[in-house]
Chain A
Amino acid sequence: VIAQPLPEPTQQPPRVLVVDDEPQIVRALKVVLREAGFQAVAAETANEALDLAAVRPPEAAIIDLVLPDLDGIELTRRLREWSEMPILVLSAVGEEEQKVRALEAGADDYITKPFGTRELVARLHAALRRSARAEEEPSIVVDGLEVDLASRMVRRAGEPVHLTPIEFDLLRALVRNRGRLMTHRKLLTEVWGPEYVEDIQPLRTHIARLRAKIQPEGAAGPRYIVTDPGVGYRFAG
């Protein structure tokens, strides 16, 4: 699905910390991740994971929400205290609230068990790309959509698109964090300010208008801005 250029063969493959207390899952993930060009480092507990990450920081982490010692949310928070590495959390249906809390604690994305490993690898690549873009980009071009952050211009297939300031700020927040699932709260804080974190309804309205303006002709379903029901939005591209 994602034809991502792998790192140079001479280089060490990127290390991914896999934290799950189900050894069977870890065993299988090791093979799957190696196949995708990563090297999995397994930890069964949050404390083991913290130790491993401190000794040799991995390039990314995949963390199960349910761990025997600390939960995945706390582990995410502790890793975020000193690292910007992409973090994916594994969750199950029915753990919506923990999922949102993990994202707010700094996780980039989540994936629901049982997951297809291709989906997992794609999300991992997207998150790694996001973290690789450390410095400010003046303009972003994604799949026919051009967002010029410096001059606040948006073009779709070369045609200028007129956005209101709020719509532009929303798009900018999503685009700059592509590869990361933005929760409602995060978007509201970033665009409107921390005092508006509960106003989800206006956010929905603005997202709907923004989508309508940047949507390519004849596209079925949302093209760039993907809804994660009850959690937030992500920019797909």
Chain B
Amino acid sequence: MPSPFGLLLSPNPPSRRTGALVALVAVGLSTLIVYPLKHVAPVGSLSVVYLPAVLVVSISWGMWLGYATAVLSALAFNFFHLPPTGELTIRASSNWVALIAFLVVAALASSLAEVTRARTRDADERRREADLAAEMARLLLRGDDLAEALPTAAARLAHTLELSSAAIEMDAVEADERSVAFPLREGTTRLGTLLVGAGTSEANLRRLQERVVPALESLLSAALERESLLGGVVETAALRRADTVKTALLRAVSHDLRSPLTAISAAGEAVGSPSISQAERQEMAIVIQEETQRLSRLVDNLLDLSRLEAGAAAPRRHPTSIEELIGVALGELSSGPEDFSLSIDPDLPLVNVDAVQMERAFVNVLENARRHSGGHPVSVRARAVRSLAGSPRPAGDRVIVRIVDRGPGIPPAQLERVFEPFYRAGTPGGEHRGSGLGLAIARGFAEANDGSLYVESLPGQGATFVFELPLEAAGAEAGADESTGLAGASRAVRGAAT
């Protein structure tokens, strides 16, 4: 507030003692100013010179100090200027009139100043309360978490009303010796409690009760309603997602289980037909074998996924050889020698993983790579990485396995989506379309074993799936690993399912 009146009307004036000092100085100054003026104006009219002093004091320090200043001014005027000067007597009746008129005007001015002052203070309070309400509304109605917003809102309240402390609780809290409690209600429902420090002044308590608490009650009730609505929205969205996953699962089961079944049943029938040639019989046998494998892999995948989603995939981790893991995985894929080209250092350190889970993860990723590699061999490379000493967040010593296919690659927008259950990249005319589950499961298992799985790709240049797996632990954390791995697994799948 730059204007001098603003300064005068400041709600926090300097102390009363300063006021008295200002009054003395102002009366003294006014007395001095009157001396030169006596030569140009009749002395009886010069009492007005004291009025500014009275006004300044009464505006800033209130009516009573104003009255005192007026009386002091009258005494000084009488003593120094009204003849006979030097004593508190008055000879001319006109001077009596002047002095009384001055006192009346000064007293009136003081009273008016007091009213203005009170009004200003009131307006200021209201403005601050309005600001406070707006601020509280922003804090309580905008935020995502009401419980988090409450301390901030309470601090803002304490700051604005100059309270020693304030807290908003969502429960019915009893006041203790250090606090005063205001119950917050909506109708008859208890919403919570406003607690303020016990030292709060009577005026502030009244103000809280009359003006702050009702506003806070309606805000809190609106905030609670909003939160419950938001909760409903979140819940609905979660349910809908779960529903989408279930629908996708049904479709996968419906189509992906039935296709191999159809092939097997038709091939079985064909084998029985009298006209079948030896070559065809051989072919039908292969159809039955391959489709049975495919079916059993799909069933495995569905089981794995449901275990991961239920958080029931606690890894049993043991020191395991990567070379062996990949070897077993390739065996299960019944891969031809030209399908994969391996480059694995036989001296790689052991990794600390659940061998069964990681084998399933490798089978899924290798199968995916072979499917998309367009007949080119898939390269599998493994090497150990030592974490750098002194790096801020050491990833730990680990083995990195890179599975590089020479397929069409993955557009950047789909790099994460390929790990979602039931997501299938477009593979038109693909010999075997996958179930859309393999990569989600592989990532779930990798993360359950404190490892990770991600993909790097440039469209048109193939894709590289990268496993990072922890080395055999120093032994100390073997117990803790199981629980964190389990949580990680279900988190990973749930995250992927969104």
Contact = CB atoms under 8 A, between A and B. Distances in A.
Q: Do A and B bind each other?
A: yes
Interface of A: 21-25, 27-29, 31-32, 34-35, 44-45, 66, 68-69, 90, 92-95, 113-118
Interface of B: 250-251, 254-255, 258-267, 269-270, 273-276, 280, 283-284, 287, 290-291, 427-431, 433
A210 to B, nearest CB: 34
Most buried by B among A21, A45, A69: A21
B259 A31 contact: no
29 contacts: A21-B433, A22-B262, A24-B267, A25-B262, A25-B263, A27-B284, A28-B267, A28-B269, A28-B270, A28-B284, A31-B280, A32-B269, A35-B273, A35-B275, A35-B276, A45-B429, A66-B255, A68-B428, A69-B428, A92-B255, A92-B258, A95-B254, A114-B258, A115-B262, A115-B265, A116-B269, A117-B265, A117-B269, A118-B269
A27 B279 CA distance: 12
Nearest to A22: B259
Contacts of A22: 259, 262-263
A45 B250 contact: no
Given A31-B276, A32-B273, A23 B431 contact: yes
B259 A113 contact: yes
A34 B274 CA distance: 11
A176 B222 CA distance: 68
Most buried by B among A22, A23, A44, A116: A22
Contacts of B269: 28, 32, 116-118
Contacts of B264: 114
A116 B429 contact: no
Contact of A25 (B255, B259, B275, B427): B259
A31 B270 CA distance: 6
Contacts of B429: 21, 44-45, 68
Nearest to B263: A24
B287 A28 contact: yes
Contacts of B255: 66, 92
A92 B276 CA distance: 28
A79 B430 CA distance: 24
A113 B258 contact: yes
Contact of B261 (A35, A44, A66, A113): A113
Contacts of A118: 269
Contacts of A45: 428-429
A71 to B, nearest CB: 12
Contact of B275 (A34, A90, A94, A116): A34
Nearest to A95: B254
A31 B273 contact: yes
Nearest to B274: A35
A224 to B, nearest CB: 29
A94 B251 contact: yes
Contacts of A69: 428
Q: What are the nearest 5 A-B pairs in CB distance?
A: A28-B266, A31-B270, A35-B273, A114-B261, A24-B263
A105 to B, nearest CB: 20
A65 B431 CA distance: 17
Nearest to A35: B273
A67 to B, nearest CB: 10
Nearest to A24: B263
Contacts of B270: 28, 31-32, 35, 117
Given A24-B290, A32-B273, A92-B258, A117 B266 contact: yes
A140 B255 CA distance: 40
A94 B254 contact: yes
A118 B270 CA distance: 11
Nearest to B258: A113
Given A28-B270, A31-B276, A66-B255, 15 more contacts: A21-B429, A22-B263, A24-B290, A24-B291, A28-B263, A28-B287, A35-B274, A68-B430, A92-B254, A92-B258, A94-B254, A113-B259, A114-B258, A114-B264, A116-B269
A116 B284 CA distance: 16
Contacts of B266: 25, 28-29, 32, 117
Contacts of B259: 22, 25, 113
Contacts of B275: 34-35
B263 A93 contact: no
B275 to A, nearest CB: 6
Nearest to B265: A114
A117 B271 CA distance: 12
Nearest to B280: A31
Contacts of B287: 24, 27-28
A134 B154 CA distance: 86
Contact of A31 (B261, B284, B427, B428): B284
A69 B259 CA distance: 18
Nearest to B268: A28
Nearest to B427: A68
A93 B252 CA distance: 11
B265 A27 contact: no
A125 to B, nearest CB: 16
Nearest to A115: B262
A72 to B, nearest CB: 12
Contacts of A31: 267, 270, 273, 276, 280, 284
Nearest to B256: A92
A121 to B, nearest CB: 10
Most buried by A among B261, B264, B266, B270: B266
